[in-house]
Amino acid sequence: MQIGIIAGCGDLPKIISQDAKQRGYEVVIIALEGLASPELNNLSDKIKWVNAGKLGEIISILKNYGISSLLMAGKVPKSLLIKGNLTPDMKAIKLLFSLRNKSDSEILNAISDELKKEGIKVIDTAIFSPHLLTPEGFLTERKPSDSEQKDINFGFKVAKEIGRLDIGQTVVVKSQAVMAVEAIEGTDEAILRGGRLAGEGAVVVKVSKPQQDMRLDVPVVGPDTIKAMISVRASVLALEAQKSIIIDRDSVIKISNLSGISIIGLNWK
């Protein structure tokens, strides 16, 4: 059995590759140049390094390897597109011109549809790694205070709304006021910006979009998220249970406990 992985930034592609191999799959990785980790060379059965803008080449490689199912894992910063740092091929240019806008969902759904036309199905990101999904409940020793819980409830509503608009997945709040909304800069930068404005005790809320497709752009946090929170003395990280991913959960919890940060997984109702 074969599975393909289009690999962007971060540790998620490495974890998924290892989990898929443990389940007996042959792992074929399309590693995006300048983004994916070199460690993937040793974690794959077959690997090709490709510029992120070469959609036609990516599809050709997948078809040549006989890949019919794949996962997309790891961040591909949209700033690459905005700043003109990609060198798209004709298939990518055609796709970009067909988009209604340049939102994450619009771009990723278009890529998924293009792959489907070629007989390649994109599957859920965590299908081989359900252990990565955020569990419901308190994950750390410290629980949110009453005032922090009010901020969590407020932040969830705001985050869901910006998700519905496909702006971002994260908000930073304090005293039921929005300090920062994640946009193109990403979660960690939004935390730093919002945390500086809030001062000590900011609450970070990261959720899936109401229209979340678990194959595409699943919310991810990890040790770097907690380090960003520590640097601005943020106090709570609230995540949507079963619809977000925690990388290296043991380290995340350990660092959070040492720093007095509370982490909670909540189901959106």
Q: The CATH number of the domain where 238 resides is what?
A: 3.40.140.80
Which residue, 122, 154, 173, sits at the end of a domain? 122
pLDDT for position 211: 81
Q: Map residue 223 onto helix, strand or coil.
A: helix
The reply to whether 118 and 212 lie within a common domain is no
The reply to whether 145 and 190 lie within a common domain is yes
Which residue, 74, 99, 122, sits at the end of a domain? 122
Q: Map residue 107 onto helix, strand or coil.
A: helix
Tell me, yes or no, whether 20 lies in a domain.
yes
pLDDT for position 83: 64
State pLDDT tens for residues 162-203: 999 989 999 999 999 999 999 988 899 999 999 999 999 999
Number of H helices, E strands in the chain: 9, 13
The reply to whether 137 and 234 lie within a common domain is yes
pLDDT for position 19: 96
Q: Give the total residue count for the chain.
A: 269
Compute the distance between CA of residue 63 and CA of residue 55 in angstroms, rounded to an integer. 12
pLDDT for position 82: 66
Neighbours of 91 (CB within 10 A): 17
The answer to whether 45 and 110 have CB atoms below 8 angstroms apart is no
List the beta bridge partners of residue 49: 31
CATH number at residue 22: 3.40.50.20
pTM of the model: 0.92
The reply to whether 114 and 236 lie within a common domain is no
Tell me, yes or no, whether 261 lies in a domain.
yes
Compute the distance between CA of residue 70 and CA of residue 90 in angstroms, rounded to an integer. 22
Lookup: tokens for 25: 């799959």
For residue 98, the surrounding DSSP H or E stretch is helix 90-98
The reply to whether 102 and 193 lie within a common domain is no
**Which residue stretches of the chain have pLDDT < 50?**
none
**Phi, psi values for residue 51, rounded to 5°:** -65, 140
Compute the distance between CA of residue 155 and CA of residue 104 in angstroms, rounded to an integer. 21
pLDDT for position 100: 84
Tell me, yes or no, whether 35 lies in a domain.
yes
Query: Could you give the C-alpha distances from 27 to 35, 60, 98, 263, in angstroms and in order?
Result: 19, 17, 31, 33
The reply to whether 139 and 226 lie within a common domain is yes
The reply to whether 110 and 184 lie within a common domain is no
Neighbours of 115 (CB within 10 A): 22
Compute the distance between CA of residue 45 and CA of residue 29 in angstroms, rounded to an integer. 8
pLDDT for position 66: 95
Tell me, yes or no, whether 149 lies in a domain.
yes
The reply to whether 101 and 178 lie within a common domain is no
The domain in which residue 118 lies consists of 2-122
The reply to whether 110 and 154 lie within a common domain is no
The reply to whether 163 and 259 lie within a common domain is yes
The reply to whether 85 and 165 lie within a common domain is no
Tally of domains in the chain: 2
Which residue, 91, 122, 153, sits at the end of a domain? 122
List the beta bridge partners of residue 181: 171
pLDDT for position 87: 82
Tell me, yes or no, whether 239 lies in a domain.
yes
